[in-house]
Chain A
């Protein structure tokens, strides 16, 4: 006797797909404990090195906190690069992409699932880095407004993962170069977004241009809200940064939706969905 399977359609299928794609991100990544260890341990090595650089040049103590928070946020950028943007390239390499396209669901839901799962799994790692870094280097926090902090984090992540979904559609067309492009987008973005120093250190227009990366303003606002000297070293007013983050979130998610449709059609037409140029 066959077991009856309820086949969802419409928004139910959309939600089911999101949860289905998020599941391996959350559960799968937690099963391999060594991954969790390395995901926290490796950024901690960089964070520690930068902390000691600041100590060597006699920086004020709040800069140590800036590095710890920035180091934790690198986990999200790495997740965007390797598990969002280049994910469709990996799926193509492993043969899953064609299955996604063939299935009766929506590629946008798959990307949303990847984003949701990635966000949850990466948040655990980022929290681990903050806890460990704060304890190891005795970082002092002075929380301004918890709700504003939560809002900034939520908006920065929405915009960031929207950006990841948008770039994922562009990576759909890439082949071997995807790995190198993702690799290239590490240090330059750490620099531009001010992961290890206040973005205010740059010229206003450079900082403004870097603000297209949601983590730039997200980090700046979070630092302003959790460190006593944060507002003095902040780039823009927190309220204005919140307003811009809302705009970025809307723009990136809309762009992701439009680009994904276009790129999917283009990739199908050019026969790039199943190609594997190693």
Chain B
């Protein structure tokens, strides 16, 4: 008796799945979206974070025209960090800064050389004035570090008896900084690992939401309710095929990230794929909840898009959770994407394995089961 129910149930499930696969593959728009969005996101997000500065336009006004100032300008232009632009007056430099034409500016006052050579207690030290465009804080912060470095080492090298610059340095502690993993501090792998979280949450939720609402509009959803299929079977009939398609999509993304962006997982690719596939199921369940509680496609999409704001901003995808106010940090822990992005970065960048990651993975699984249960209840209450 039980066995035969199970058998008919399995048959119904297979029919539902076949139907879903056909419906998905028949719609060229869905297919197009499923291929272009993940790849487009990878390419877009992969490049936005960089810790290097190159070719910053540097305004220069050299009021002293001394040998040393010319030498410093030559040193600054020798690197590819700065592209010096010479101005004829201080005012012109300031105007260029306001117009956003230069990101930083160096001004050598007219008495620069004299003040430097004049030794004597109580005199003002020779000054180089540097100002940065604080309207671009990331840029200004990076430019500051490299400009100081270049100028100080150039001063040390050019001072005839080297003492001048040496004094500045030797009085403090010199720190050698060395990153473990990712020695060049390349921003790409960090963003690629986060992009998986973004795509697998946003795209899956949106596609599920739209697919159900479309069925509602064409009336096939009501027909589905009339078949002997139970809510659980309908749920699985939606989730398994879509999950399989996304799981394939995931492989495609991993390949593109590796081949075009040079980012392969440091840790186990298989573990990543398994966790990510389970995570897809979680997002699919969320999409089901959104669509089951919305009357129109517009409403479902609206819900998904509104939920994407906290997803992008609070999950640590671009701005780190650690820098958020404490209470907001707690809120971000309630978002499944936060945990998935953490796991994704741990596997991709630090090569961590299941031994280190099981608590995080457990949280993702628990949240996933919760969401699937919620989706099931919404479907049951509507049946």
Same complex: no
